[in-house]
Amino acid sequence: MYARKLIVFALLVLLAVLIACAPAPTPAPAAKKGGKVTMAVWQSPITLNSNLGTQTVMDEVNVFIVEGFTKVMPDGARVPNLAKEVPTVQNGGVKDDGKTITYKLKEGIKWSDGQPLTCADFQFTLQAIMTPGVGVVSTTGYDKLASVDCPDPNTVVLKFKEFYAPYLTMFDNFILPKHATGDPKDMKNWAYNRKPIGTGPFKLDEWVADSYITLSRNPNFREKDKPYLDQVVIRIVPSSEVAMQLLASGEVDIVWNNTEADMPQLEKMAGVKISDPMQIGGERLFLNMAENKDPSDPKKPHLILNDVKVRQAIEYGINKQRIIDKLLFGKAKPGTNEINAGFFQCADFKPRGYDVAQAKKLLDEAGWVPGPDGIRVAKGAKVAPDGTRLRLKYSTTSGNKLREDSQVLIVEDMKAIGVELYIENAPSSVVIGTWDANSPRRHGNFDIIMYTTNAGIDPHSQMTNLFASWMIPHEGNKGGLNYTRFADPKVDELLQSAAKEPDMSKRRDLYCQIAKIGQEATNMIYLYQRLDLDSYRDRLLGWVPNAWDNNGWNAEEWSLK
């Protein structure tokens, strides 16, 4: 039953990909010109300068306005956007062991104010990002660049100090216009932050804080006759329940960021479509392999969870499909491993099925025998002294209903195999806090923590963060992100090779080997892979779901029925 669903799903994905990638067989005249589309967002943007903000809604607005060298298609393939082609070793764009990357810009690209886009803008963008003291949120990757060279206005050469594996993510979603910004030192106060200028299909007309943003057709957009729409309005509707009603009544055309719980309502709404591409990564349990103490010594084993058999038993004992069917309305997929979508997706990964007998068998083997109340106690276990109760603390971020509900189910599942979980949740600011804020996640003061994290389109940093032994957080490495305290010399070696590998396919193989080792070691239990859910009215044509980008990633193709 499940396999059949999967096949159908795979076929659908394939179909979607084919449609999306097909060299536009339908000519432009089919689309009607003009009209206005309104998108409801529940989050209120605070800045539109991608260097200064971290909100998802910021990218959701910016995608209409600003662009980068390349963009990512629904299937995870990178295609040229401002650049003529994606640089590869084969086409001569990647040279010098991957340390010199050359992009050729498409001819005649203009900013929405009519000024030409040139290589100098890329130089300026790098300079702005690397200017100290301006509050740029992340300099990751850009700090590896020695310079941006401009042999001519239409050629951009990135010179890296050392090889940086995700080099394609540099300048891939925004470029700052040199002429329409200001002194980088004053970046926080640029007028640009509230009125960005870009090369995208739309330009910003008006932004009334906490109320709405209006965008209109960029007259200087490089593709003739596009975009089809005259206007895109982004309306801040703080209550998502209200946004759904406005979608039902037709007052808005798009509702951004739906949840699975909205599905029954949306499926019943006449004239409404659901966009649901599969996302990478997903909700998982982090199992602490090292001692549970504040702060923990990563070299000391966790009393219970250090034994791989116990960890695997826990995964066998969790009925992932039940969580998906009952809490996610079937709108998700059981989790398997870290890289479960996109170019880097690892093939032939099977989810570890729900198998109570196997779970019990593993626990028996691991030296945990059922006690008088059904909860197991240690008798010859790997680390735990005899008589230790199989009882673990299970935490997640409080206030998240889906997480709290799924905890209820997992606690039930675990009880059935003789594992006792007790819930102790904390606000996300605590769970996801810093070392100095005594976050239990960083200090290692936990048994099981549950939340979601995703790799980007390039999983380089995610894989390193989660599996590298040098990423284990401790007093001397407060920023470490390897919370499970997973350490394997083989994996460290593979990660180091991957970091030096310019060939993407080879790099993928390396990551997949790590993912395989990870699945076997079960330092994390991938519960489910979620869909990226949005909804829109069917009068809007040209919408193509893309989990790798924001809703408006192809807004120039949008039109009204």
Subset of 224-263 contacting another protein (CB under 8 A): 231, 233, 235-242, 244-246, 248-251, 259, 261-262
Task: Work out whether 404 is an interface residue with another protein (CB under 8 A).
Answer: yes
Distances (CA, A) of 469 to 443, 484, 516: 15, 10, 17
C-alpha 234/C-alpha 550 separation (Å) is 13
Is residue 408 at the binding interface for another protein, with CB under 8 A as the rule?
A: yes
Rounded to whole angstroms, how far apart are CA atoms 530 and 280?
Answer: 8
Q: Which of 131, 214, 220, 496 binds another protein (CB under 8 A)?
A: 214
What is the smallest separation between the CB atom of 140 and another protein, expressed in angstroms?
7
User: How many angstroms separate the CA atoms of 162 and 148, rounded?
Assistant: 14
**Nearest Cα residue to 235 out of 456, 18, 38:** 38
H helices, E strands: number in the chain: 14, 23
Choice from 4, 224, 268, 350 touching another protein (CB under 8 A): 268
Task: Give the residue with the Cβ less far from another protein, 153 or 427.
Answer: 427
Q: Does 435 bind another protein (CB under 8 A)?
A: yes
CB of 407 to another protein, least distance (A): 9
Cβ 384 to another protein shortest distance, Å: 26
Residues 169 to 188 in contact with another protein, rule: CB under 8 A: 188
In terms of CB distance, is 263 or 521 closer to another protein?
A: 263
Asked if 361 touches another protein (CB under 8 A), the answer is: no
Residue 56 interacting with another protein (CB under 8 A):
no
Contact call for residue 211 and another protein (CB under 8 A)? yes
46 binds another protein, rule: CB under 8 A: yes
Binding letters toward another protein, positions 476-515, x by CB under 8 A: --xx-x----------------------------------
User: What is the C-alpha to C-alpha distance for residues 462 and 280, in angstroms, rounded to an integer?
Assistant: 11
Decide if residue 420 touches another protein (CB under 8 A): no
**Minimum gap (Å) between residue 274 Cβ and another protein:** 15
CA angle 502, 505, 511 (to 5 degrees): 90
3-state percent breakdown (helix, strand, coil) of the chain, nearest 5:
30, 20, 45
Interface with another protein, residue 193, by CB under 8 A: yes
Q: Which residue has the tokens 């939340």?
A: 451
The answer to whether residues 350 and 337 touch, using CB atoms and an 8 Å cutoff, is no
Planar angle of CA 182, 187, 188, nearest 5 degrees = 135
User: Nearest distance from residue 404's CB to another protein, in Å?
Assistant: 5
**Identity of residue 307:** D
According to the binding rule CB under 8 A, does residue 437 interact with another protein? Answer: yes
| Residue 392 sits in the site that holds another protein (CB under 8 A) | no
Q: Does 561 contact another protein by CB under 8 A? A: no
Extract the tokens encoding 104.
């050729």
- The candidate with the shortest Cα–Cα distance to 215, out of 186, 254, 189, is 254
